Structure 1
Amino acid sequence: MTTQLSQCLRIDLGIPAVQFILATSLVVAALAFWIRGHRSLPGSKWFILGIVFMLWWLASVGFEISSAGKTCKVFWAKAAWPGIVLLPTFWSFFLFEYTLSRPVPRRIVVLCSFVMPAFVFALAATNPLHGLFYSAGTTLRTDATFPYVYYEHGPYFYFSIAYLYVLTMGCTLIAGRAALRADPSVRSFFVKLFLTTIIPIVSNVLHVGFDVKIFDVDPTPFSFAVSVILIFWLITDRRWIDMNAIARDLFFYNSRDLVFVLDRDGTLHNTNQSARDFITRYDQTLKTPPQDLPAFGPVFRQLIDRTTLPENVEIPHDGKHFVARAYPIALGQGQPLLGWAVAFVDITTQKQTADRAIAAERSQAQFLATVSHELRTPLTAINGSLSLLTNSKAKISDTQADSLMRLMTKNAASLAALVNDLLDTQALASSDFNLNREAGDLQEILGDAIASMATFLPEKNITLAYSPLDPLVPVFADSVRLRQVIVNVLSNAMKFSDSGTEVGISLKTTADTATIFIKDNGRGIPPNSEEKVFGRFSQIAEGDERKITGSGLGMHISRQIMLQHGGTISYESTLGAGTTFAISIPLDQTA
């Protein structure tokens, strides 16, 4: 028995087939050791286990080839079955987890890793009892380079092979599905993965169906070894197991920035999709040299001529703004320059944000200057009047005292109006601005607003021309706030009108809307000034007109009030011919 066992454990390294198996095993073992350092790979444990049982299978084949008698050869053929079953099993598990990025269900792991392998191995090991795995026709033949066993397969063998075909077909479907659905940047890898998957399937079909052999044995383990070696080539190509490489590819192909790869002479070698789309706007053939591209051409020319980017690398083009970045390509430090990877980063959003921040800073500075001025003027008048009344009371007549009191009252009202505007603006910004809406007559609200302006700027002798409508104009509104809007527009119209002129006021209605028109005969508003007119802390007037007082908040507050009423405020203006403001509000349909 001991002699027979020692004969079965014999390995003849002089046989070329055994030498091939040994070399293949060393390569596969090295691959398994290398993969141990890449545990982040989805399914890596299954890949390593697959390699372990591939080595098991290859070792069994090597011992079978080296053995001389039928008994030993059949023994090793049966001993190979754990590897025969578990190699495609773990290969399937690896493909499942790698391509679908989710773990194999536990019940499938238990069934395919323990139950079915144990069952198939039991069928093979108990063959002497039933003869249904390898039947009586299994014989030793010596008509080849070295003796081999011709196996006559029984039903249990074909059952086991059918089970393995289900697994391997699952491998094929998983790999094929991944190849069809893969991102273009990694699709080439999945196609290669699919091709490597079908190699063992094809070789096993040829062996079982057509008795094709290698070294007079089943070629399947060798084809698996070939698949693994091909995968090792994919690994060295760094396109599948290296997640960083895949991430770089995905970033390159999917980035919205324009990326160009060109050599030292300026020949374009590659682009990402964004750059390709940019080029095709001007050249469908994609043959335009980069140095001839619009907007970006000068950057490429200087890079090629001087190996540096221009000092001003911000490039405006087609309503967008880009910043150029160039990364030299060389094989190593101190090696000759091969070319560049040039990226044009879209900074349009950042530039717009920066512009808005600058505009906000300017607006704030203007606001502080305006508020300081608006506060200083009435405070100076009030302080001056109080000083005169306090320190020179005996020298001031009753008429002069009354005039100083009126002056203080007027300036105190200006301060109160400014503070109210500031409080309203803060409330609007914090969503604490509430309307007290109730049913009312828009004509009555308009009439009150006009009456309150009768004593406004009396020195300018402005006439407010208004003819009321006869019928009721029902609105559901906050009458105080709506009156505030009308007063804001009227005060602006009077401020910017010439002395002795007229401000026309009219009210028109449609089926569902009422609109107040207020027309002045001033200098008009420049085109595209809506942001200034309705912005915070801003005024259109400049030069001499800047003498006109105001916080620059009134029209901003007015727009917000009208929006909360479901209405609008707008204007039409012609320089030199005046401006007409329109205040629209929905009618109260329930009145």
Structure 2
Amino acid sequence: MVILWARGHNGLPGHKWFILTTLAMLWWLVSIGMELSGQTEHCKVTWAKLAWPAIVMVPTAWAFFLYEYALAKTVGRATMILGTVFHPLFILLVAFTNPVHGLLYGPETRLVDTGNTSFVLYDHGPIFFVAISFLYTIILASCVISLRAVRAANPAVKGFFKRILFVTAIPIAFSIAYNIFGFMVFGVDPTPLSFAFSISLVAWIIIDNRWVDMNAIARDLLYYNSREMIFVLDVNGTLMETNQSAKDLMRDQGAAKDTLSDIAGLGRVFDTLISQQELPDTLEVENGGRHFVPRVYRISLGKGQRLLGWAVSFVDVTIQKIAAERAITSERMQAQFMSTVSHELRTPLTVINGSLQLLSRNRANTSAEQADRLIELATKSATTLAKLVNDLLETQRLESPDFQLKFDACDLEEIVSDAVDGMETFQPEKNIKILYKKQVGDVQVWADADRLRQVIVNVLSNAMKFSHANAYVDVNLYADAGMAYVVVKDTGAGIPPGSEETVFGRFTQVDATDTKKVYGSGLGMHISKQLMLRHGGSIHYVSELGMGSTFTILIPVHHMASS
């Protein structure tokens, strides 16, 4: 049966050696049986001689089986021929030529009749002890292979290899007992019987525990190697077993078997399960900054049988949660984008459309002053639209991996001066003055001059848009400790505390109401921050409601020119 079963599992490493071991074992047992049933010394000795090829083959084939199964290696062709062909034939030849040389069994070999049974008392010659020493070496090698397998085995199969090591050592004990202390069973060497017992035990272990069943091994590997934490509890909540991931968590957090309830986040899962014998479907817990969803599997002997306990696994959903939050954020930003763009487009488009309709429908009744005013409104609104579109395109370019800045040595004072001069005519109706103070001479920086000017213009335009009429905006340039500072200070409405993400976010404005007085894409400061990061600098602000805001642009100094 064992041979048929092994043939049906030809995917098992070393299965042919397992079959050969079993066949050799059968040969050995048949020979021993025939020796026991023989009546004459000649008959008994003949069968003892016929057993020798099997005696050599059994430990050899068993060692080959362990080598391929336990170590996942292949027996070399030369070794295979030497162990399964040459050695058995050689010992058989030596056995049947023994009457000539007498080196296997000596002249003192005799039949002993006890009345109830008879057996041969062998006079072992030198070749016998050489052969036995050779077989001990092979069996010892099998033990070494088994020990290596135990040390290297995955937890899922370590128990199997411990059993293999144990049953491999059994024949050694019986053989030593026979050859040194003369211990016999039914008047014969007990070694073959111990081998038969060992092989039968291994076969039973294999079949009963399904250790060579790939499906069973895969299930155990999933348990032991799973990144999910798995706890096995009895019905009283006593921890019975854990996989490696759960052991690592308990070790890192100093949790003992009887203190599961104290594990951060996970403890309430065990408490709920023990008290209610089930968990809510939507339960999610957090431990060490990671999020887990518990899954509970009832343990019983079958449907309708008494509950024995639970297997509780904790699925790490941190990545999924982050992805979900990003998706929600992306969806919210998209909705915000659509709302912002549509809102910001509607006002200038309404002005442009209204102005052009008035001009086209009432051209004859429209004075030159009114026409100029309508054209001015349409032009300003068109400029606003162009700024919005440019900001959208700029944001898209910044997010592209192909976006590149054109760095060169630049005079920061010249860049700031150009930006200030360009903003002098911004919102002339508010009559806001820009006061530019330079505390150093030329300040050299390594930058993209156009992009750095864009940042300063964005900050200046913000300061002027949120300042009251007839106010002042102070601009200060200085250098300190290898950094250049451009400071823009206004006396406007100020920014509420904790608004950094809104100020530097995409499509966001501090005042997002429909009654706001200042319109824009909500992209200017976001673009500015991204550009400063690419320059190796930064931009930040301090503000107080009702008192104004101060924005500071920092960029490393490339070369400090003498003034």
Give the TM-score band, short-chain normalised.
Answer: 0.7 to 0.9
1:443–1:469 Cα contact (<8 Å) kept: no
Whichever residue aligns with residue 90 of structure 1, its letter is: A
Whichever residue aligns with residue 569 of structure 1, its letter is: I
Q: How far apart in 2 are the matches of 1:153 and 1:391?
A: 130
Q: Which residue of 2 aligns with 1:204?
A: 175
* TM-score, normalising length: structure 2: 0.88
Whichever residue aligns with residue 202 of structure 2, its letter is: I
1:320-399 matches, within 5 Å, as 320-399=290-369
Q: Which residue of 2 aligns with 1:86?
A: 57
1:212-240 deviation line (CA, Å, top 9, x unaligned)? 32222222222222222332443355263
1:134–1:153 Cα contact (<8 Å) kept: yes
Whichever residue aligns with residue 206 of structure 2, its letter is: I
Whichever residue aligns with residue 76 of structure 1, its letter is: W
TM-superposed CA distance for 1:268, in Å, is 4.0
Identity within the alignment, %:
52
The worse-fitting range, judged by mean Cα deviation, of 200-209 and 526-535 is 526-535
1:509-588 matches, within 5 Å, as 509-526=479-496, 529-543=499-513, 546-574=516-544, 577-588=547-558
CA gap 1:281/1:590 in 2 versus in 1, 3 angstroms: closer
TM-superposed CA distance for 1:158, in Å, is 3.4
Q: Which residue of 1 aligns with 2:459?
A: 489
CA gap 1:387/1:285 in 2 versus in 1, 3 angstroms: closer
391, 416, 421: which one aligns with 1:421? 391
Q: How far apart in 1 are the matches of 2:517 and 2:85?
A: 93
Whichever residue aligns with residue 358 of structure 1, its letter is: I
Whichever residue aligns with residue 342 of structure 1, its letter is: V
Structure 1 runs not aligned, ≥5 long: 1-29
1:108-150 deviation line (CA, Å, top 9, x unaligned)? 4344333444444443344344433334443333348533233
393, 400, 408: which one aligns with 1:430? 400
SS of structure 2 residue aligned to 1:149: strand
Whichever residue aligns with residue 542 of structure 1, its letter is: A
Q: Which residue of 1 aligns with 2:153?
A: 182
CA gap 1:577/1:331 in 2 versus in 1, 3 angstroms: farther
Q: Which residue of 2 aligns with 1:440?
A: 410
1:37-436 matches, within 5 Å, as 37-143=8-114, 145-184=116-155, 186-235=157-206, 238=209, 240-275=211-246, 285-288=256-259, 295=265, 299-300=269-270, 303-304=273-274, 306-310=276-280, 312-316=282-286, 319-436=289-406
CA gap 1:553/1:70 in 2 versus in 1, 3 angstroms: farther
TM-superposed CA distance for 1:61, in Å, is 1.7
Q: How far apart in 1 are the matches of 2:49 and 2:546?
A: 104
1:189-226 deviation line (CA, Å, top 9, x unaligned)? 33222222211222223333333322222222222222
The worse-fitting range, judged by mean Cα deviation, of 379-388 and 477-486 is 379-388
The worse-fitting range, judged by mean Cα deviation, of 73-82 and 237-246 is 237-246
2:440–2:479 Cα contact (<8 Å) kept: no
2:410–2:449 Cα contact (<8 Å) kept: yes
1:304-363 deviation line (CA, Å, top 9, x unaligned)? 455432354223456443323221212122323323222333323322221121111001
Q: Which residue of 2 aligns with 1:4?
A: none
CA gap 1:449/1:157 in 2 versus in 1, 3 angstroms: farther
SS of structure 2 residue aligned to 1:535: coil
SS of structure 2 residue aligned to 1:439: strand
The worse-fitting range, judged by mean Cα deviation, of 89-98 and 534-543 is 534-543
2:238–2:258 Cα contact (<8 Å) kept: no
Q: How far apart in 2 are the matches of 1:98 and 1:68?
A: 42
1:514–1:587 Cα contact (<8 Å) kept: yes
SS of structure 1 residue aligned to 2:311: strand
TM-superposed CA distance for 1:364, in Å, is 0.8
TM-superposed CA distance for 1:483, in Å, is 1.2
TM-superposed CA distance for 1:365, in Å, is 0.7
1:196–1:231 Cα contact (<8 Å) kept: yes
CA gap 1:439/1:83 in 2 versus in 1, 3 angstroms: same
Q: How far apart in 2 are the matches of 1:212 and 1:146?
A: 16
SS of structure 2 residue aligned to 1:467: strand
Whichever residue aligns with residue 193 of structure 1, its letter is: I
Structure 2 runs not aligned, ≥5 long: none
Whichever residue aligns with residue 163 of structure 2, its letter is: K
CA gap 1:244/1:501 in 2 versus in 1, 3 angstroms: farther
CA gap 1:519/1:567 in 2 versus in 1, 3 angstroms: same
1:299–1:310 Cα contact (<8 Å) kept: no
1:266–1:304 Cα contact (<8 Å) kept: yes
TM-superposed CA distance for 1:173, in Å, is 1.4
1:445–1:483 Cα contact (<8 Å) kept: yes
Q: How far apart in 2 are the matches of 1:85 and 1:533?
A: 86
Whichever residue aligns with residue 138 of structure 1, its letter is: T
TM-superposed CA distance for 1:303, in Å, is 4.0
Q: Which residue of 1 aligns with 2:444?
A: 474
1:59-81 deviation line (CA, Å, top 9, x unaligned)? 22222222222333233223223
2:239–2:257 Cα contact (<8 Å) kept: no
Q: How far apart in 2 are the matches of 1:313 and 1:77?
A: 71
SS of structure 2 residue aligned to 1:80: helix
CA gap 1:494/1:146 in 2 versus in 1, 3 angstroms: farther
Whichever residue aligns with residue 388 of structure 1, its letter is: L
CA gap 1:465/1:254 in 2 versus in 1, 3 angstroms: farther
Equivalenced residue count is 561
1:99–1:178 Cα contact (<8 Å) kept: yes
Q: How far apart in 1 are the matches of 2:59 and 2:560?
A: 78
1:280–1:286 Cα contact (<8 Å) kept: no
1:189–1:239 Cα contact (<8 Å) kept: no
The worse-fitting range, judged by mean Cα deviation, of 309-318 and 68-77 is 309-318
Q: How far apart in 2 are the matches of 1:315 and 1:157?
A: 70
* TM-score, normalising length: structure 1: 0.84
CA gap 1:530/1:99 in 2 versus in 1, 3 angstroms: farther
CA gap 1:57/1:526 in 2 versus in 1, 3 angstroms: farther
Q: How far apart in 1 are the matches of 2:361 and 2:322?
A: 57
CA gap 1:503/1:193 in 2 versus in 1, 3 angstroms: farther
SS of structure 1 residue aligned to 2:314: strand
Q: How far apart in 2 are the matches of 1:143 and 1:494?
A: 123
Whichever residue aligns with residue 45 of structure 1, its letter is: K
473, 485, 490: which one aligns with 1:503? 473
